[in-house]
C-alpha cells in the first residue's frame, strides 16, 4: 500500500471525475446501458486500480496480477472507464460500448476486453468465481489477491451466500468483497423489492471480517482497502455506502437511471455538473 497524501487523493478524485464523464458519454452514445450503478461504484474502482491492484495494462493476462471481478457486470461503463484511464483500452474503444463487434460489450466479458477477469452480466456469479481464483492463488503459493464487487440487489441471489459460506470455511484471507450498497436495484428501491435487514450482521454470521465505509470518500476507501489487506485469516467484506448515480444530480438516488441513458440535454447538464464540457458537441 502506497502512502497517500492529499495530492494523491486529489489525483484519484480527478481520475474518478473523468471516469464519470466517460460513463455519461458511453451510455449517451449507446442510448442504453447502466449509468446509475456505474456512478456508484466508480470511486472504489478508481481507488483499487490506481492505488492497490498489481496489474499491468501491457500484460493484461499476467499470471501474477491481482484479480478484480465486477460481478455486477451490467455496470460495465464504470469498468471500461477505469480500463481506459489505466491504459488497458483506448478512449476510442469506449465508443464501441454496445456496438456490434465492439471491444466494450454490453456486459463485461473476459473474451472481448483486455483487463476483464470474468464474464459477468448474470448476477450472483462473480463471488464464486473469485473464490476459485483465490484458491488458485493459494495453491500456487502466490501473494496475489482477489477483489470482487457485488451489488446490494445482487446479494439477493442465493449463490452469493453459498460462496460466502464456502470462502469463510476455506479461510480465504486473500479474498475481499466490496458491496456497492446504493439501496436501489432494477425495478425499485431495495427496501421495496427485498429487504436485506442487517447486512453487516449477515456477513459476520457467515464468518467474514466486516467493515463499512463511505464509498465516495477516497480516504475512507483507501483505509478500508488497507484494512482488508491486514486481514489474512478469513475473507473480508467492505460494505460501501454509496449513492446510485453519484455526482449527477438528476441521477442521484433515482431508480429510473438504473438502466436508462442520458439524452442530449441530460448529457450536457451532467458534464457541466462535473465541471467538464463536451468538446464539439
Partner 1 sequence: MSRMAATRDGYGQGLLNISDDERVVVLEADLGKSTKSLHFRKQFPERTVSCGIGEQNMMLVAAGLAASGYKPFASTFAIFTERAFEQIRNGVARPNLPVHICGSHGGTHTGTDGGSAQSIEDLAIYRTLPNMTVMHPCDDVSAAELTRQCLDLAGPSYMRTARNKTRVLHENRIDDIKIGKGIVLRDGSDVCIIACGVLVDKALEAAEKLAGDGIDAGVVDMHTLKPLDGDLINRMAASTGCIVSAEDHSIIGGLGGAIAEHLSSNHPIPLERVGVNDRFGESGQAEEMLDLLGLNTGDIIEAAHRAISRKSN
Ligand X SMILES: Cc1ncc(C[n+]2csc(CCOP(=O)(O)OP(=O)(O)O)c2C)c(N)n1
120 binds partner 1 per the rule CB under 8 A: yes
- Which of ligand X, partner 1, none does 75 bind, CB closer than 5 to 8 A by kind? ligand X
128 binds ligand X per the rule CB under 6 A: no
Q: Could you say which DSSP state residue 96 is in?
A: G
Q: Report yes or no: 67 and 144 within 8 Å, Cβ to Cβ.
A: yes
String marking each residue 252-281 x if it binds ligand X according to CB under 6 A: ------x-----------------------
Q: Between 15 and 75, whose beta carbon lies closer to partner 1?
A: 75
Provide φ and ψ at 129, rounded to 5°. -60, -45
Question: 207 to each of 14, 139, 236, how far by Cα in Å?
Answer: 37, 22, 9
Nearest-approach distance from CB 276 to ligand X, in angstroms: 23
Q: Segment 37-56, which members bind partner 1 (CB under 8 A)?
A: none
193 binds ligand X per the rule CB under 6 A: no
Give the CA angle between residues 269, 270, 274 to the nearest 5°: 115
Among 35, 36, 37, 73, binds partner 1 (CB under 8 A): 73
Bridge partners, residue 213, by sequence: 240
Q: Report yes or no: 206 and 168 within 8 Å, Cβ to Cβ.
A: yes
Q: Could you say which DSSP state residue 119 is in?
A: -
Dist CA 29 CA 208 (whole Å): 41
Q: Segment 212-251, which members bind ligand X (CB under 6 A)?
A: 244
With residues binned 3-state (H G I as helix, E B as strand, rest as coil), the percentages for the chain, rounded to 5, are: 45, 10, 45
Among 7, 100, 139, 279, binds partner 1 (CB under 8 A): 100
119 binds partner 1 per the rule CB under 8 A: yes
Question: Which single residue brings its beta carbon nearest to ligand X?
Answer: 151
Dist CA 13 CA 185 (whole Å): 26
188 binds ligand X per the rule CB under 6 A: no
253 binds partner 1 per the rule CB under 8 A: no
75 binds ligand X per the rule CB under 6 A: yes
Dist CA 193 CA 77 (whole Å): 25
Binding site for partner 1 (CB under 8 A): 30, 32-33, 73-74, 98-102, 105-107, 109, 112, 119-124, 153-154, 156-158, 185-187, 192-194
Amino acid at each position: 500500500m502506497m502512502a497517500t497524501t492529499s495530492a494523491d487523493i486529489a489525483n484519484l478524485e480527478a481520475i474518478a471525475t473523468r471516469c464519470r464523464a466517460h460513463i455519461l458519454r458511453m451510455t449517451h452514445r449507446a442510448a442504453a446501458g447502466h449509468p446509475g450503478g456505474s456512478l456508484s461504484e466508480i470511486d472504489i474502482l478508481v481507488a483499487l486500480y490506481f492505488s492497490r491492484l498489481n496489474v499491468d495494462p501491457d500484460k493484461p493476462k499476467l499470471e501474477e496480477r491481482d484479480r478484480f471481478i465486477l460481478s455486477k457486470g451490467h455496470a460495465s461503463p464504470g469498468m471500461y472507464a477505469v480500463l481506459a484511464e489505466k491504459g488497458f483500452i483506448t478512449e476510442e474503444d469506449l465508443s464501441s460500448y454496445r456496438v456490434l463487434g465492439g471491444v466494450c460489450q454490453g456486459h463485461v466479458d473476459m473474451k472481448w476486453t483486455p483487463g476483464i477477469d470474468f464474464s459477468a452480466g448474470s448476477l450472483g456469479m462473480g463471488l464464486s468465481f473469485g473464490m476459485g481464483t483465490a484458491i488458485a492463488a493459494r495453491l500456487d503459493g502466490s501473494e496475489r489477491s482477489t477483489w470482487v464487487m457485488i451489488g446490494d440487489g445482487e446479494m439477493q441471489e442465493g449463490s452469493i451466500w453459498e460462496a460466502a459460506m464456502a470462502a469463510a470455511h476455506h479461510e480465504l484471507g486473500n479474498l475481499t468483497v466490496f458491496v456497492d450498497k446504493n439501496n436501489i436495484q432494477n425495478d425499485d428501491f431495495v427496501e421495496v423489492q427485498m429487504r436485506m435487514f442487517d447486512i453487516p450482521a449477515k456477513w459476520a454470521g457467515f464468518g467474514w471480517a466486516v467493515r463499512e465505509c463511505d464509498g465516495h470518500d477516497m480516504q475512507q476507501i483507501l483505509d478500508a482497502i488497507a484494512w482488508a489487506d491486514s486481514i489474512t485469516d478469513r475473507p473480508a467484506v467492505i460494505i460501501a455506502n454509496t449513492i446510485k448515480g453519484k455526482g449527477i444530480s438528476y441521477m442521484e438516488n433515482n431508480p429510473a437511471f438504473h438502466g436508462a441513458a442520458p439524452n442530449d440535454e441530460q448529457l450536457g447538464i451532467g458534464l457541466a455538473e462535473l465541471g467538464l464540457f463536451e468538446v464539439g458537441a
